[in-house]
């Protein structure tokens, strides 16, 4: 992001925003993602009661949004929200 947009990712601090968020959140992350390390998502789950991690395989970073895991996670989140 820094190279492409001249905007350092650290200035956004997405991890901190996610930790501070007090709403159910599901991260669907490919274990082999080379852009964003899977271990970071694992750490976020440990730091917030609101974050749930669903592991995916074979999508890497760019194709993850087309995965069945994303659709299942979205459906789970919608059902969970409608119960409240």
50 is a domain residue? yes
34 is a domain residue? yes
pLDDT at 2: 58
39 is a domain residue? yes
Closest alpha carbon to 2 in 11, 38, 35, 40: 11
58 is a domain residue? yes
Distance CA 32, CA 75 (A): 24
pLDDT at 73: 79
Contact by Cβ (8 Å): 76, 25: no
pLDDT at 49: 92
Task: Please give the tally of structural domains in the chain.
Answer: 1
Q: Show the domain range for 28.
A: 23-82
pLDDT at 77: 78
73 is a domain residue? yes
In tens digits, what is the pLDDT along the chain, a chain of 84 residues? 556 666 666 677 778 888 888 888 888 888 888 888 899 999 999 999 999 898 887 777 767 777 788 778 788 878 877 766
Q: Torsions phi, psi of 54, nearest 5? A: -115, 120
18 is a domain residue? no
Contact by Cβ (8 Å): 21, 48: yes
pTM as predicted: 0.66
11 is a domain residue? no
């Amino acid at each position: 992001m820094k190279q492409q947009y001249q905007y350092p990712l650290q200035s956004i601090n997405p991890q901190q925003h996610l930790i501070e968020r007090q709403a159910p959140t599901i991260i669907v992350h490919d274990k082999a993602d080379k852009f964003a390390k899977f271990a970071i998502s694992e750490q976020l789950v440990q730091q917030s009661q609101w974050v749930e991690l669903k592991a995916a395989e074979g999508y890497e970073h760019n194709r993850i949004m087309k995965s069945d895991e994303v659709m299942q996670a979205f459906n789970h989140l919608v059902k969970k929200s409608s119960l409240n």
